[in-house]
Amino acid sequence: MVYDDQNIFAKIIRGQIPCEKLFENEYVLAFMDIMPQVDGHCLVVPKRTSTGLLDADPDVFSPLFAAVQRLGKATQSAFDADGVTIMQFNGAAAGQTVFHLHVHVMPRHSGVPLKTHSGTMEDIEIIKKNADLIRKALAMQEG
Ligand code: AMP
């Protein structure tokens, strides 16, 4: 599959459309998912382009998964979660809807199921409130 640089995450990385940003460095950008499957559902994208994991340069994995780990810990702490689901899809048949490599980070509570994937747009005020909690937890990590 050919990478299309007009996909929504490419536009977010270029700053052409807004996102609720959690953190950013030279390699990755982390932001809130606008159709969260749980409270605190967020995404990490590498800035280098690939449609998914299978066509990515393996050099992106180290900074990408370092960021996923950091966000996993921050969301666990921010939401006092019992666990954290890390999810990643490759290809429409696998459930992928945005064709720029990304990893889902979802804090989980025992007995609380995930809502539908790419289901319902969340109220922006709730997204901002949850983002604030995660940003605070990230700041605590930094000491
Ligand atoms: P996937 O199906 O793995 O490609 O997931 C794409 C994810 O991106 C879904 O969870 C969507 O809710 C989310 N999403 C789509 N558009 C946006 C956007 N503009 N900002 C943040 N998240 C988005």
DSSP 61-85: HHHHHHHHHHHHHHHHHHTT-SEEE
Q: Given the DSSP bridges, would you call strands 42-46 and 103-108 parallel, antiparallel or unpaired?
A: antiparallel
Interaxial angle between packed helices 124-142 and 61-78, expressed in degrees from 0 to 180 and rounded to the nearest 10: 110
Homologous superfamily of 8-142: HIT-like (3.30.428.10)
Contacting residues for 128 by C-beta, under 8 A, at least 6 apart? 20
| Token code pair at residue 133 | 């909690």
Å from CA of 104 to ligand 1 middle: 9
Domain limits of the chain?
A: 8-142
Q: In 3D, which of 56, 54, 44 has the Cα closest to residue 87?
A: 44
Residues near ligand 1 with C-beta < 6 Å? 8, 19, 33-35, 89, 95-98, 117-118
| Token code pair at residue 3 | 């990478």
What is the side-by-side strand order in the sheet with 83-87?
A: 21-24, 28-32, 42-46, 103-108, 83-87
Q: pLDDT tens for the chain, 143 residues: list them.
A: 899 999 999 999 999 999 999 999 999 999 999 999 999 999 999 999 999 999 999 999 999 999 999 999 999 999 999 999 999 999 999 999 999 999 999 999 999 999 998 889 999 999 999 999 999 999 999 87
Look up the pTM and report it: 0.97
Å from CA of 139 to ligand 1 middle: 25
